[in-house]
Amino acid sequence: MTTDGARFLDGADWAGNIFIEGTWRPGSAGEAPIVEPATGEELGRTGRAGVDDVATAAGSAADAQQEWAALPHPARAAVLRKAGDLFGQHADELAEWNVREVGAIRGMAGFALHVAAEECYAASGLPSASLGELIPSEEPRLSMVKRLPVGVVGVISPFNVPLILSIRSVAPALALGNAVLLKPDPRTVMTGGVNIVRVFEEAGLPPGVLQLVPGGADVGEAMVTDPHVRVISFTGSTAAGRAVGELAGRHLKRAHLELGGNSAMLVLDDADVEKAVNLAAWGSFFHQGQICMTTGRHLVAARIYDDFVEALAEKASHLPVGNPATEEVALGPVIDEGQRDKIHHLVTSTTDAGATAASGASYDGLFYRPTVLSEVTRDHPAFTEEIFGPVAPVTRISSEDEAVELARASEYGLSLGIITSDVMHGLALADRIPTGIVHINDQTVNDEANAPFGGLAASGTGSRFGGLAANIEAFTETRWITARAEPPQFPF
């Protein structure tokens, strides 16, 4: 790849290598291609770590963490601020990787760079935050609670939004004095790994504090079980998250799990159809629907249902789909054939069960057409399962009580949208539907660096990302400390 900013990545020997102990070097599992989903072209090669590499990285990270945590808090904050600046300065080059390796449209790639910078800026405030409190004691002593770095944090991130879903754990964990082992999805090692490491390398992060160990499930398992790694921050599918959580629990480690979703958007009978359709299209089709918060179920009042389906299908039929590196498009490719086939199976099994494809339901290569499914019921596969593709299943509701019942009829509990002209009524309705995130008069896909993020039930273990309190809770340990002027005298 050649861009005007290529000198930034050319400043390190990342090609075919992993990053351990502050050096780019071959991984014990060799290397693998970086494949552009839109064309199938090989863009380069990155290294692959093996189990032995994880042990080496974790041991050296534990050593490096001690000195990093001991630095004055302005020094750690300065590295985070510099990293944020670098994401902005090299945005064109880094965004190009996001477009070509991930299949993101340019607007999405730009948004990811913006969030990455904001995550670093927000994290730069953590080193100077209050990390403790004085508490009363029955004894004549000073009694306090102090938050300390956990030590080494393992970050495992997915393919869909790799930059954001890596940096939102990496940045606060580093800011609070931890070292980090980063394992991005093998399909998106550049965007979710190499680019982040290069930014922090250039920002002055000491060697060993951030290490890159891309690899398969064996590498993830080695990270979870390594005794030096005390906290796992995992973002990915619910099935994989259950396995990570179980393994972490067996080793008495905290695992922060941000998992799948099948988020509902309720369109009440007082909603403006045109505005609701605009929200619905963005919620279901943005980034090819490959977002955990994607609107997976549209629950629409019967009075406006037909108008809503017709307008959404019309919009979907005119959205351009193509290679975001060479065309101005609304949707790019899905990540690979396996994901495409899963999407299509859910669509066809739902239409076979009685739903109607009002638009889409077809693909060309990895380019899946934005699809609207009407007359979807609660027993259809597209209603019950996370699709992770550009599909909008629309269900007719006859009352608000039915809307609440259907919104709750899911194992997931990530995000919720409610469209209504009565905001206070929408807020009251949201109280009846358990989710980690609620948006009144907006679709379900929203993200800000300073906002707590997380889901319930099969969507994860709650808000462990974003915001001061969530990050401190996620990446520090609690210690009780007392001090007395004189030792007490005990009866024996």
Q: Which of 120, 292, 385, 386 is catalytic?
A: 292
Q: Which two tokens stand for residue 68?
A: 């990093």
* Largest Cα span, the chain: 84
Instruction: Classify burial at 273, counting beta carbons within 10 Å of its beta carbon; exposed 0-12, middle 13-18, buried 19 or more.
Output: buried
445 and 283 Cβ atoms separated by less than 8 Å:
yes
Give me the half-sphere count of Cα atoms (radius 13 Å) on the Cβ side of residue 480: 5
Please pick, among 96, 118, 258, 386, the residue that the annotation labels catalytic: 258
- Give, as one character, the DSSP assignment of residue 287: G
In whole angstroms, give the CA distance from residue 123 to residue 146.
19
Return d(Cα 174, Cα 82) in angstroms, integer: 13
Is there a contact between 484 and 141 (Cβ–Cβ < 8 Å)?
A: yes
| Angle, CA of 469, 472 and 474, to the nearest 5° | 105
Are the CB atoms for 452 and 466 separated by under 8 Å?
yes
402 is catalytic: no
249 by Cβ neighbours in 10 Å (0-12 / 13-18 / 19+) ranks as exposed
The enclosing H or E element of 207 equals: none
Of the candidates 463, 415, 437, 459, the one whose C-alpha atom is nearest the C-alpha of residue 239 is 459
| Closest to 180 in 3D by CA, of 30, 76, 25 | 76
Q: Is 258 a catalytic residue?
A: yes
Say which residue the tokens 């790994």 belong to: 193
Under 8 Å between Cβ of 466 and 165: no
Q: Residue 36 in 3-state DSSP?
A: coil
Which positions are catalytic? 258, 292
